[in-house]
Amino acid sequence: MSRRDFLLRKFLLSLVTIFVVIVINFMLFRVLPGDPVRSVIGRNVRISAETQQALREQFGLDKPIFPDQFIDTIGQWAQGNLGISWSLRRPVSEVLMSKLGNTVLLIGLGQVLAIFLGVTLGLLAGWKRKTAIDVGALTFSLVAWAIPTFWLGIIFLAAGSAWFGLPTAGIMSPENTGKPLMTILPDLARHLFLPTLTLTILYLGEYMLIMRSSILEVLSEDYILTAKAKGMSDWQVLWRHALRNAMLPIVTLIALNLGFTVSGAIYIETVFSYDGLGKLFQTALVKQDYPLLQGAFLLLAVSVIIANMAADILYAVLDPRVKES
Amino acid sequence: MNENWALFKRNLFEFWKAFRRNKLGLLGGFLVLTAILAATFAPLLTPYAPTEVIRDVNGRGLTFAPPSVHAPLGTDDAGRDIWSQLIYGARVSLAVGFLAGFIAMFIGSLFGILAGYFGGRIDNLLMRVTDVLLVIPDLPLMLVLVATLRQMDLHVSPLVVLVFVIGLLYWTSTARLIRSQVLTIKERQYVARSRAIGAGHVHIIRKHILPQIMPLIVANTVLIISTAILIESGLAFLGLGDPTQPSWGAMLNFAFDRSAVTNGAWWFYLPPGFAIVWVTLGCVLLGNVLEDMLNPRLTAHHLESNQNMIAIQKREGE
């Protein structure tokens, strides 16, 4: 398959997936009992029947659900109009945008740390297979996989606040809001420490495992034996020949992990009352704020799909084998 | 039929002989088995009903009491025994996990066999569906699905909703695994011969394909069950469990909501988590060992000591 075909296929797949997400999102909230006009007017029951009917006509709710309403809704979403949150009484898109930065910060920090540590430890574990390092790394990733994310977060929360006096909620102390970034960095770091730690441990295991099996596969190749026979040291072999080839699966894993990353953010932000999209999602769930839930799902799903496509493009650039036809 | 049964028994015995030498596999089996036994014999193992409030001499509820002789794992915010809730919670967590796992396994195996065996359109459909499902973030999808299904008047327990949502979303990896296995099996000579002497599709799938992939299905089911239990605990923690029949995840949801952390009530939030780890770790160990025994992995390693390499070469030459 040529690189162009590969990318075209991935692009089409992303489009189809986004379409599926939109259909799910549209259908799900149409099957709910009750009247969708409420998602526009909020829970204000005092609006008269005539006004409600007028609104219904204005928003096209008197038309058939498919195709009129469906196309209309997609048009609205495409313009960034996701309705009004029932519980916060603000436009959903505005609420989502105000939380996006915090989540990107948390996920980004956790991912970078996990990739760095995971690749290093996986490399060591694969190189020194069946030694204490390897067994330790495998045990760690196994246990980390079996531990529910939110429970690990609860334990860190309890231990961190009781023994180290770390803050238990939020992204910064209330008195620091609005101050210049440089002066509040230490406070920010104290708030970010526990959520980032939990997130890193959550992702670390899988990167380590993939890196380990990937390096094992590379080390069984004949060119490694040749390099060794030339008299290169283990380190030289690892650095010059093994690492680069073994890193490729990590790129795909980062892409595949994005959905998993979002799941982790929902749990961790809930446990640490971290003011991001994950916490917002959970709040919308508990308060049955459907416009907010719908908007948050749309944003999370579409970002993950687009990020996945970006990773596929990166992979095609990095892996020369994709070029061959 | 009798021959098949004898063959099955012999294979099972051979398998057990190999399995019992594997310490990790045995540990996994032990963890899973104890949890199943605890769930089965819950009434015999618990001093109280899970909803019963323990009272002191003045008749007041014994709230947030640390572990003592009255309550081996202490009490929760309403004065109920944590140990009893934990053991009864095993029933809910395991039931949801196993049922969801079986649904996922059934759909995945069926789809995988059909796609692998018949190829063509159905195979294409499977691959596209899994491609799409793989990219949509699973937890947000499940959360909106469960949240809307609960709002509809379905007149079923929230646990049934959880079972179906988890089961209907987690079959894709199984389907792909089974598909690739079926693809290699159907190319083998005896399948071609069987077809040449006029065997039908149903006969070939039942007699030649299914027995070959059955061990793989079993190993994969154990792994899916562990995922399902983890997912259930997460959804229940986020408030989507059944409050009248709390699973371990729902217990953690209560503990977190009723500020067990700020009250220092570690006996409230630690045990349910340990229980989840107990079962999922057990399933993962068991599943991985089963999978490893069925799919031998790479043996060559050119940076290990020479002695080892010779040993491997010898083994290959045998």
Going from N- to C-terminal start, the domains of chain A cover 3-78, 92-318
- pLDDT, tens digit, for every residue of B75-84? 888 778 889 9
- The answer to whether the CB atoms of B300 and A220 lie below 8 A apart is yes
Q: What are phi and psi of B76, to 5 degrees?
A: -90, -165
Chain B residues within an 8 Å CB radius of A147: 273, 276-277
- The answer to whether the CB atoms of A28 and B144 lie below 8 A apart is yes
**Whole-number pLDDT of residue B288:** 84
**Whole-number pLDDT of residue B318:** 35
| Bridge partners for A91 per DSSP | A84
Residues 6 or more apart whose CB falls under 8 angstroms from that of A110 comprise: A195, A196, A199, A200, A202, A203, A261, A264
Nearest Cβ partner for B152 among A31, A151, A271 = A31
- The answer to whether the CB atoms of A146 and B230 lie below 8 A apart is yes
Chain B residues within an 8 Å CB radius of A308: 135
B305 membership: H or E segment, kind and range:
none
Chain A residues within an 8 Å CB radius of B311: none
In CATH, the number for domain A92-318 is 1.10.3720.10
- The answer to whether the CB atoms of A155 and B143 lie below 8 A apart is no
Taken in order A120, A122, A126, A130, the sign of the CA dihedral is: positive
d(C-alpha B215, C-alpha B271), whole Å:
34
Cis amide prior to A67 (ω within 30 degrees)? yes
ipTM: 0.85
Task: Sort A319 into a burial class: Cβ within 10 Å, 0-12 / 13-18 / 19+.
Answer: middle
Entry pTM: 0.85
- pLDDT, tens digit, for every residue of B39-57? 999 888 888 888 888 887 7
Nearest Cβ partner for A219 among B252, B270, B301 = B301
Amino acid making up residue A259: G
Q: What's A49-81 look like in SS3?
A: HHHHHHHHHHCCCCCCHHHHHHHHHHHHHHCCC
Tell me the count of A-B CB pairs closer than 8 A: 168
| Pick among A263, A268, A309, A312 to test the B interface (most B CBs inside 10 A) | A263
Nearest chain A residue to B261 by CA distance is: A158
**Whole-number pLDDT of residue B247:** 92
3-state secondary structure of A166: coil
CA angle A259, A263, A266 (to 5 degrees): 140
Amino acid making up residue A167: P
**Whole-number pLDDT of residue B296:** 42
d(C-alpha B73, C-alpha B77), whole Å:
13
Chain A residues within an 8 Å CB radius of B137: 258-260, 262-263, 300-301, 304
d(C-alpha A296, C-alpha A310), whole Å:
21
Residue whose token pair is 């154990």: B222
Amino acid making up residue A299: L
Nearest chain B residue to A152 by CA distance is: B273
In this prediction, the residues of chain A whose per-residue pLDDT falls under 70 are 1, 32-47, 55-62, 66, 176, 320-325
How far A52 CA sits from the closest chain B CA (Å)?
23
Chain A residues within an 8 Å CB radius of B128: 13, 16
- The answer to whether the CB atoms of B238 and A258 lie below 8 A apart is no
How much is the mean pLDDT over chain B? 84
CA distances (Å), origin A192, targets A108, A159, A315: 12, 15, 31
**Whole-number pLDDT of residue A323:** 56
Please give the domain boundaries of chain B with CATH numbers for all domains.
Answer: 26-317 (1.10.3720.10)
Q: Return the closest-CA partner of residue B283 out of B12, B31, B18, B26.
A: B31
- The answer to whether the CB atoms of B237 and A150 lie below 8 A apart is yes
- pLDDT, tens digit, for every residue of B247-267? 999 999 999 988 888 888 888
- pLDDT, tens digit, for every residue of B122-146? 888 888 888 888 888 889 999 999 9
Amino acid making up residue B203: H
How far B283 CA sits from the closest chain A CA (Å)?
9
Buried b (16+ CB within 10 A) or exposed e, A38-71: bbbbbeeeeeeeeebeeebeebebeeeeeeebbe
**Whole-number pLDDT of residue B251:** 93
Nearest chain A residue to B300 by CA distance is: A220
Chain B residues within an 8 Å CB radius of A129: 301, 304
Nearest Cβ partner for B281 among A143, A157, A267 = A143
d(C-alpha A246, C-alpha A120), whole Å:
12
Rounded to an integer, the average pLDDT of B10-38 is 87
| Pick among B125, B144, B172 to test the A interface (most A CBs inside 10 A) | B144
**Whole-number pLDDT of residue A47:** 67
Q: Return the closest-CA partner of residue A282 out of B22, B237, B60, B37.
A: B237
Q: Return the closest-CA partner of residue A69 out of A29, A118, A113.
A: A29
Nearest chain B residue to A255 by CA distance is: B135
DSSP class of B54: P
**Whole-number pLDDT of residue A42:** 56
**Whole-number pLDDT of residue B2:** 67
Q: What are phi and psi of B304, to 5 degrees?
A: -90, 165
